[in-house]
C-alpha cells in the first residue's frame, strides 16, 4: 500500500502545526485541490480584484450618452452598444490593437442607416442562441431586429409608445420578446412571425423593466413607476401571479396595497439559478426576493445607492459557482459602481473612475471582466488589477474543456 508523503513543516510555525499552502496555483499543481475547486477559487479572486482597467481603451464612437450595452452569450466576444444619438455599434473585444494599450474599435455601425432609429436607443439585446441577430428598443416607439452581418433590419415592431426596455429568454422555446414601455400593458412580440401575440395587463404606470426567468421559460418579471414588481405566467389567461410586497404582509397576492418599493421600480434581474430576484428603485433601495416564497428576504444593502433617473437600470449579478460568494453590482448616480455580497448585503467595494453616470453594465464571463456604459459617451472595462499567471488565465478562460469530474 502506498503512503502519501507528509507535507513539510513550515519554518515560520512556532507551534509545530503544518501551515496549509495559501497559493491556489501551487495547491493545484501539488494536486491538493481538483480543477473545479481551483477554478472557483481563481475566479472568485479575480472578481474581488476588479478595478478600472487602465490598459484598455474602447474607442469613443457615440456622440451622445451610451444608454445600453450587451455582450453575446455564444462566444462572449462581441459587445453591442446603443446611444442617445440613435446609433448602434458592434465591437470585437478579441480583435484589438495591442501596443502599450489595448484599443478596441467599432467594427460595424448603423450610423447613417436609413433603417436606424429616429430616437435614442434604450436597450440592446443579443439573440440568445447565436450572434447573427440582435434586437434594439428605442424612445422612437419601435423595437427592431437586426441582421448582424448586414446591419439591416429584419423586422420592426411599432408600439406607439416610448420603449424603455425589452427582454429575450435564453432558455425558452417560445421565441417571445417582452416589452417595457410607457403603455402599462406588457406586449409580447413573436420574432418568428414578426407580429404581436398578446398583452399582459396589471400595471397602472409606465413599465421600465422586464426580465425572463432563467429557470422557468414562461415566467416573466416586470417593474413599473406604480412601485410594483409583478410576476407573470404568460400561459395563463389571468397571467399575473402576484405583486411582490416589501412588508411581507399576509395580503392577497394581487392586493392593491402590495408594493415592492416606495417609489418607481426601474431595474430587476434574476440570479443565474432563477431562485431569487433582485430589484432596484428610486427609493435608493435594492431588494432581494425569494422566488420560492415570494417574500422580501430583508437583506440590507445600506444607504450608498443613488438611483433617480427614469430609465432602465438593471443590477448585474456575478456567475454562481459552488462554495463561492455571489456578488451584485449596482451603478450609482454618483459615478461609482457598488459591489455587494448578494446574500448578506455587505458592501464589498466601491469602484470609481468613471467621469459620468454609469447607465448600463455587461458581464464577460470568459475573462471575468465588466463593461460599463456612461452618459459621458464612454464605454469602460473593469478587470482584475492583480497580475495573475497568464497561462492560468488562459486555462481558466477555456471553461468548456473542464468539468467537475476532472
- Cα–Cα distance, 17 to 11 (Å, whole number): 10
Q: Mean pLDDT throughout 119-135?
A: 95
Q: What percent of the chain has pLDDT over 70?
A: 83
Q: Mutual orientation of helices 390-397 and 35-48 as an angle, nearest 10°?
A: 110
CA nearest neighbour of 243 among 313, 296, 308, 179: 296
Quick check: helix, strand or coil at residue 37? helix
Residue 356's pLDDT band, with cuts at 50, 70 and 90, is very high
pLDDT at 293 over 50: yes
Give the model confidence (pLDDT) of 207-234 as tens digits. 999 999 999 999 999 999 999 999 999 9
**Predicted pLDDT at 368:** 86
CA nearest neighbour of 261 among 214, 225, 315: 225
**Predicted pLDDT at 226:** 98
Residue 32's pLDDT band, with cuts at 50, 70 and 90, is low
- Cα–Cα distance, 239 to 88 (Å, whole number): 34
CB atoms within 10 A of CB 313: 26
Q: Mean pLDDT throughout 127-151?
A: 95
* Domain layout of the chain by residue ranges: 24-400
Give the model confidence (pLDDT) of 64-117 as tens digits. 999 999 999 989 999 999 999 999 999 999 987 665 678 999 999 998 888 999
Residue 406's pLDDT band, with cuts at 50, 70 and 90, is very low
Give the model confidence (pLDDT) of 374-401 as tens digits. 999 999 999 987 545 454 445 454 544 4
Q: What order do you get walking across the sheet with 152-158 strand by strand?
A: 121-126, 133-138, 142-147, 152-158
Residue given cell 409606465 in the structure block: 206
- Cα–Cα distance, 227 to 207 (Å, whole number): 10
Q: Are 62 and 79 in contact (CB under 8 A)?
A: no
**Predicted pLDDT at 19:** 41
- Cα–Cα distance, 372 to 383 (Å, whole number): 11
**Predicted pLDDT at 8:** 41
Domain 24-400 CATH assignment equals 2.60.120.620? no
325-327-333 Cα angle (round to 5): 160
Amino acid at each position: 500500500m502506498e503512503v502519501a508523503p507528509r507535507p513539510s513543516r513550515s519554518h515560520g510555525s512556532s507551534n509545530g502545526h503544518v501551515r496549509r499552502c495559501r497559493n491556489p496555483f501551487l495547491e493545484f499543481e501539488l494536486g491538493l485541490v481538483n480543477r473545479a475547486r481551483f477554478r472557483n477559487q481563481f475566479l472568485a479572486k479575480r472578481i474581488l480584484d476588479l478595478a478600472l482597467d487602465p490598459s484598455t481603451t474602447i474607442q469613443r464612437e457615440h456622440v451622445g450618452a451610451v444608454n445600453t450595452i450587451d455582450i453575446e452569450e455564444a462566444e462572449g466576444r462581441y459587445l453591442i452598444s446603443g446611444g442617445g444619438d440613435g446609433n448602434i455599434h458592434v465591437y470585437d473585444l478579441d480583435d484589438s490593437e495591442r501596443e502599450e494599450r489595448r484599443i478596441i474599435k467599432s467594427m460595424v455601425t448603423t450610423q447613417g442607416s436609413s433603417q436606424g432609429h429616429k430616437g435614442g436607443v434604450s436597450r440592446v439585446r443579443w439573440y440568445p442562441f447565436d450572434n447573427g441577430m440582435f434586437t434594439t428598443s428605442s424612445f422612437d416607439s419601435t423595437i427592431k431586429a437586426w441582421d448582424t452581418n448586414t446591419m439591416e433590419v429584419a423586422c420592426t415592431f411599432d408600439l406607439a409608445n416610448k420603449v424603455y426596455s425589452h427582454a429575450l429568454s435564453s432558455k425558452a422555446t417560445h421565441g417571445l420578446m417582452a416589452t417595457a414601455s410607457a403603455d402599462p400593458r406588457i406586449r409580447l412580440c413573436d420574432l418568428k412571425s414578426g407580429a404581436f401575440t398578446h398583452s399582459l395587463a396589471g400595471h397602472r404606470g409606465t413599465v421600465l423593466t422586464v426580465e425572463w426567468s432563467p429557470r422557468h421559460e414562461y415566467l416573466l418579471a416586470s417593474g413599473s413607476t406604480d412601485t410594483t414588481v409583478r410576476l407573470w405566467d404568460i400561459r395563463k389567461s389571468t397571467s399575473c401571479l402576484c405583486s411582490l410586497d416589501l412588508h411581507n404582509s399576509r395580503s392577497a397576492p394581487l392586493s392593491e396595497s402590495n408594493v415592492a418599493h416606495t417609489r418607481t421600480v426601474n431595474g430587476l434581474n434574476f440570479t443565474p439559478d432563477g431562485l431569487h430576484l433582485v430589484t432596484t428603485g428610486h427609493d435608493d433601495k435594492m431588494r432581494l426576493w425569494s422566488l420560492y416564497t415570494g417574500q422580501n428576504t430583508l437583506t440590507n444593502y445600506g444607504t450608498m445607492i443613488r438611483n433617480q433617473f427614469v430609465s432602465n437600470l438593471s443590477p448585474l449579478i456575478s456567475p454562481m459557482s459552488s462554495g463561492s460568494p455571489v456578488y451584485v453590482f449596482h451603478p450609482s448616480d454618483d459615478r461609482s459602481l457598488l459591489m455587494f455580497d448578494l446574500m448578506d448585503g455587505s458592501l464589498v467595494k466601491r469602484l470609481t473612475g468613471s467621469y459620468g453616470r454609469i447607465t448600463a453594465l455587461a458581464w464577460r464571463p470568459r475573462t471575468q471582466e465588466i463593461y460599463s456604459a456612461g452618459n459621458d459617451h464612454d464605454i469602460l472595462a473593469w478587470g482584475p488589477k492583480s497580475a495573475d499567471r497568464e497561462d492560468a488565465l488562459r486555462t481558466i478562460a477555456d471553461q468548456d474543456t473542464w468539468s467537475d469530474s476532472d
